[in-house]
Structure 1
């Protein structure tokens, strides 16, 4: 480490190494700030900063009145991404495969399409879309957030079902009824830091990143629905089945 590096990085680097090589196994206590200042010869500010960095990296967690501990290494649950099902149907199948009960809340409303959503749906900016927000749960715990957008023309003349009810038809059925059968879906995935409201709604520990899936359903060359699906990075791994054409 370069001599010009902040002194707290010396503490971070050593504790990080011990956590990664299991010298400090999951659940092990991390030295207190006072102990860190004595062990590494740094000030209390540097010790506090080192603990903050390790928590932001997701390596340690703080417990009120009990100090910091090495974070448990989660067993990642699979999410199958090869199906053209509705979000709720796919989520239910994944939860059932893991012996969990799936449930969700949702709310639909007509809104003006933000620029990015208008681009994905090939609409004019601020043209009306139907926005539906979901919170999906496994055994009562929030595990996914999803926000779906559809061109408003597919909802005209249809009464909105009661919020959170089971009266909402699936995406494939709605598009087929509108004469726009779904033919394919595309998906882009990236990792990012969660927004504060996402952390709150998903009850994420400090330092947890999320997987952000941008999924768009197409009817021919027209996008008919696009969704932002937010998945906790410490709970799931994405599983894709890729068909290969025979020679």
Structure 2
């Protein structure tokens, strides 16, 4: 019976319903307010990140840490996504985005090294365009990123992980409406 209770407690702790406090016991966890993270092309900003804007809109402090490695050989899956050969050099940046000091998003971004080598934007979090995001950084060197899924050469690919119990991701996708002018409506 003890094993059943222990496993039930572990499950409820992993789901955020209960929380364990060292030396004190197990308690009902405070309800967590989910953070709304909106993804939209209309939200690209020249002056900062959409993540920080989401945090500010929710009266939270948005912050983050990043680590960048230049000249990192592309693994096979990343090379396929970027349309380059396995082993081609990339710039890999890992991000940890924090809301009120708690991790809300982990991201690993990969960019083909030869796309920005020798420019001021080769390092995503360094130089005069640090933190401006891939769309704005690439525009600074004449590369226009026009779609989230490119028909031409990709400028970036990323793996993003968010905790479902803390975050709600909302995608804003514009819908182009068209009207067949040959039809009349009554």
Query: What TM bracket, shorter-length normalisation?
Result: 0.7 to 0.9
- Aligned match of 1:48: 6
Report how far residue 158 of structure 1 moved. 3.4
Long gaps (5+) in structure 2: 180-186
- Higher normalized contact order (CA 8 Å, seq sep 6+, divided by chain length): 2
- Aligned match of 1:197: none
- Structure 2 counterpart SS, 1:99: coil
Report how far residue 183 of structure 1 moved. 0.8
TM-score (structure 2 length as normaliser): 0.76
- Structure 2 counterpart SS, 1:74: coil
Checking the alignment, whether the CA contact within 8 Å between 1:130 and 1:152 is kept in structure 2 is yes
1:238 to 149, 169, 172: 169
Long gaps (5+) in structure 1: 1-41, 187-217
Between Structure 1 and Structure 2, the one with more helix by share is: 1
Report how far residue 155 of structure 1 moved. 2.7
Report how far residue 163 of structure 1 moved. 9.5
Report how far residue 75 of structure 1 moved. 1.7
Report the RMSD for the aligned CA atoms in angstroms: 2.8
Report how far residue 123 of structure 1 moved. 1.3
The runs of 4+ residues in structure 1 deviating greater than 4 Å are: 159-166
- Aligned match of 1:182: 145
Q: Residues 168 and 128 (structure 1 numbering): CA distance in 2 closer, same or farther, change over 3 Å?
A: same
- Aligned match of 2:112: 151
Instruction: Using the TM superposition, name which of 44-53 and 95-104 deviates more.
Output: 44-53
1:130 equivalent to 2:86? Answer no
1:70 equivalent to 2:1? Answer no
- Aligned match of 1:205: none
Instruction: Using the TM superposition, name which of 231-240 and 175-184 deviates more.
Output: 175-184
Checking the alignment, whether the CA contact within 8 Å between 2:93 and 2:124 is kept in structure 1 is no
TM-score (structure 1 length as normaliser): 0.59
Equivalent-residue separation in structure 2 for 1:135 and 1:75 (angstroms)? 20
Checking the alignment, whether the CA contact within 8 Å between 2:112 and 2:156 is kept in structure 1 is yes
Equivalent-residue separation in structure 2 for 1:224 and 1:77 (angstroms)? 28
- Aligned match of 1:94: 54
Checking the alignment, whether the CA contact within 8 Å between 2:119 and 2:141 is kept in structure 1 is no
1:113 equivalent to 2:94? Answer no
Give the length in aligned residue pairs: 172
Q: Residues 77 and 173 (structure 1 numbering): CA distance in 2 closer, same or farther, change over 3 Å?
A: closer
Report how far residue 179 of structure 1 moved. 3.9
Checking the alignment, whether the CA contact within 8 Å between 1:161 and 1:167 is kept in structure 2 is no
Checking the alignment, whether the CA contact within 8 Å between 1:106 and 1:134 is kept in structure 2 is yes
- Aligned match of 2:44: 85
- Aligned match of 1:228: 159
